């Protein structure tokens, strides 16, 4: 019997001082059976960093041809492609050809460092690519905020995200590895 996704609900109030974006989002997150709590919570944190009324979670892990999050325009063209992990060069070429802006959030600790060593010289081929790295301890802290029904507050200022709930608070400060694009 196939395992089913675990469903989480998040009421997320966002104050993004960097972009002047202030909104509340009622989100439903499906945790794929192969996805860790840490990765799912990173998806939620990345949503807060890029929040927009047209930003949506996609099928993610369940679909090879979709990112973790994307923002499409009203013509169904991908404006922003946001993916978690360490894609290979072929995948980067494919996704950079499909979207106006591509954001990669690497989170694999030492494995991510090794990936970046091999990818650093190749990234310059893509002018609308942004690569960020999130520390493993940050992922562990994010996991402490997870509940089936979450009430979260997200404040973004100077590129840092302060995530808080009744369980506590976490600061998420992704390190920029490549690119200089705006999160908008």
Is residue 184 included in any domain, yes or no? Answer: no
pLDDT (tens digit per residue) in 25-74: 999 999 998 899 999 999 999 999 999 999 999 876 666 778 999 999 99
The number of domains in the chain is 1
Is residue 2 included in any domain, yes or no? Answer: no
Does the global pTM surpass 0.85?
yes
Write the CATH number for 138.
Answer: 3.10.640.10
Tokens at 43, concatenated:
């998806």
Mean pLDDT is lowest, of 16-20, 67-71, 108-112, for: 108-112
Cα 89 to Cα 8, 95, 96, 119: the distances in Å are 33, 10, 10, 7
How many other CB atoms are there within 10 angstroms of residue 154's CB atom? 21
Give the residue among 64, 51, 57 at the shortest CA–CA distance from 30. Answer: 57
More confident residue, 5 or 60: 5
Cα 60 to Cα 56, 117, 146: the distances in Å are 11, 25, 19
Is residue 159 included in any domain, yes or no? Answer: yes
The domain in which residue 94 lies consists of 7-178
Q: Which pLDDT score, from 0 to 100, does residue 60 have?
A: 67
- Rounded CA gap, 21 and 15, in Å? 6
């Amino acid at each position: 019997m196939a395992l089913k996704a675990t469903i989480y609900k998040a009421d997320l109030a966002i104050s993004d001082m960097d972009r002047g974006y202030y909104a509340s989002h009622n989100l439903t997150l499906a945790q794929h059976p192969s996805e860790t709590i840490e990765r799912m919570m990173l998806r939620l944190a990345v949503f807060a960093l890029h929040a927009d009324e047209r930003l949506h979670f996609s099928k993610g892990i369940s679909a090879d041809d979709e990112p973790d999050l994307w923002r499409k325009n009203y013509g169904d063209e991908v404006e922003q492609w946001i993916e978690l992990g360490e894609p290979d060069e072929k995948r980067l070429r494919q996704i950079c050809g499909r979207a106006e802006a591509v954001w990669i959030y690497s989170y694999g600790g030492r494995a991510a460092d090794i990936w970046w060593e091999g990818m650093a010289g190749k990234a310059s081929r893509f002018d609308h690519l942004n690569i960020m790295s999130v520390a493993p301890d940050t992922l562990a802290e994010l996991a402490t905020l997870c509940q089936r029904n979450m009430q979260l507050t997200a404040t973004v200022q100077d590129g840092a995200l302060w995530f808080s709930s009744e369980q506590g608070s976490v600061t998420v400060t992704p390190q920029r590895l490549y690119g200089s694009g705006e999160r908008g």
